[in-house]
Structure 1
Amino acid sequence: MSWKRFRRSLRKKRDEKAFRLAQDELAELLKEPELDVVYFDEAGFSLKGVVPYGWLPVGKRRDVPVTGAHGSNVQAIGFEHQDGHTQTYLHKGYVSTDTVIQIMDDFCETIEQTTVVVLDNASCHTSHAFKACVERWAARGLLVYHLPPYSPELNSIERLWKKLKYQLMPAEAWEKFSTLLNTLTSKLCDIGEVIFMPSLESCAQ
């Protein structure tokens, strides 16, 4: 038996040439003193919880049945700066393009110099409505850089979401919606700012 973390991977689907090109381009952007580079992504936190580690037979795969409680999800929609500081918007429900646009507009008010936001190709990041805002954001100093598909390793904030789910969130956090929201908020406040979207304003303390 081997003690491993259960995980999914889409690495085999990606274009390695595009991945290496994006890797090099990001390295160059990070060297630019007149640019801020921030990483953007969404992560869902559900009462179903997570199964981080378990014993697996060597060379075997085993499915894990879902047995956790059911209930509302909390969506963490965040920006991570190069120094590790974060700005996270918490939202209840589906993350639509309109939600992302609202967050990008709000984030534009906080930047102090030209900023490149690195993000994946989720549908809410590539829709016509999103693309229609790119020029307006650029005029305000916010530039959008899309990663090639299946390249989560190039998005630093992905590591934050994994750390939250698999290391920082205690087991009791997944017992009910209020403990999930309060624990997630507390952990995120330790590393940055937390903003409640209108869908969660009634839960703000």
Structure 2
Amino acid sequence: MPYGWQFRDEDVFIPSQRAHRLNIFGMIDQNNRYEGFSTQESITADKVADFLDRLSFRIKKDTFVVLDNACVHRGKLIAELRPIWEKRGLFLFFLPPYSPHLNIAETLWRILKGKWLRPADYVSADSLFHATNRALAAVGDELVINFVHAA
């Protein structure tokens, strides 16, 4: 829930469960073209490298992928594959530390959680996984983000 309220002397709590997880690795451009995957497992450097490798075969022109400084983005495997991807026209650009405001994918995650997913989608892990994947599949078609840059 993006917000809530309570009476002054009332204790409010929401029990949480750690039984399930949903991790997403995704990218979006300012034209609402989304690429990514979701998993119930941890996102590892192997998964990221596999995704970027597949992407490098599909691109038709030089493409820059903006990454934050997560350890799975900065690992040995990514560094080893980077020259191969650059020969295919896929270039990695790393954001400065502590700068999520420069990453437009953060806007996607904020809107996904705050607008596109409903409270009812959180009833079960299955409904959350389904609603999340349904929303991500609709990005660019039925669901769009208006990325506005004011200079």
TM-score, normalised to structure 1, is 0.62
> Does 1:54 find its partner at 2:8?
no
Q: What code does the residue aligned with 1:52 have?
A: P
Counterpart in the other structure of 2:75:
127
Counterpart in the other structure of 2:127:
179
Q: CA RMSD in A?
A: 1.9
What percent of counterpart residues are identical? 29
Q: What code does the residue aligned with 1:108 have?
A: S
Which whole-Å CA distance do the structure 2 matches of 1:88 and 1:127 have between them? 19
Structure number with the bigger relative contact order (C-alpha 8 A, sep ≥ 6) is 1
CA separation of 1:121 and 1:180: change in aligned 2, threshold 3 A: same
Which whole-Å CA distance do the structure 2 matches of 1:109 and 1:156 have between them? 24
Which whole-Å CA distance do the structure 1 matches of 2:43 and 2:13 have between them? 26
List, as ranges, runs of 4+ consecutive aligned residues in structure 1 with deviation greater than 3 Å: none
SS in 2 for 1:94: coil
Does the Cα contact within 8 Å between 1:80 and 1:156 map onto a contact in 2? yes
Counterpart in the other structure of 2:97:
149
Q: CA shift at 1:107, angstroms?
A: 1.2
Counterpart in the other structure of 2:55:
107
Which whole-Å CA distance do the structure 1 matches of 2:113 and 2:19 have between them? 17
Does the Cα contact within 8 Å between 2:29 and 2:104 map onto a contact in 1? no
SS in 2 for 1:145: strand
SS in 2 for 1:158: helix
Q: What code does the residue aligned with 1:146 have?
A: F
Does the Cα contact within 8 Å between 1:52 and 1:166 map onto a contact in 2? yes
SS in 1 for 2:109: helix
Structure 1's unaligned 5+ residue stretches are 1-50, 57-63, 194-205
More strand by share: 1
Q: Deviations over 1:33-61 (max 9, x none)?
A: xxxxxxxxxxxxxxxxxx411349xxxxx
TM-score, normalised to structure 2, is 0.82
Counterpart in the other structure of 1:162:
110
Q: What code does the residue aligned with 1:84 have?
A: N
SS in 2 for 1:93: coil
Aligned residue pairs, count: 136
Q: What code does the residue aligned with 1:88 have?
A: G
CA separation of 1:149 and 1:170: change in aligned 2, threshold 3 A: same
Which whole-Å CA distance do the structure 1 matches of 2:13 and 2:110 have between them? 20
Counterpart in the other structure of 1:98:
46
Which whole-Å CA distance do the structure 2 matches of 1:88 and 1:132 have between them? 21
Q: What code does the residue aligned with 1:150 have?
A: Y
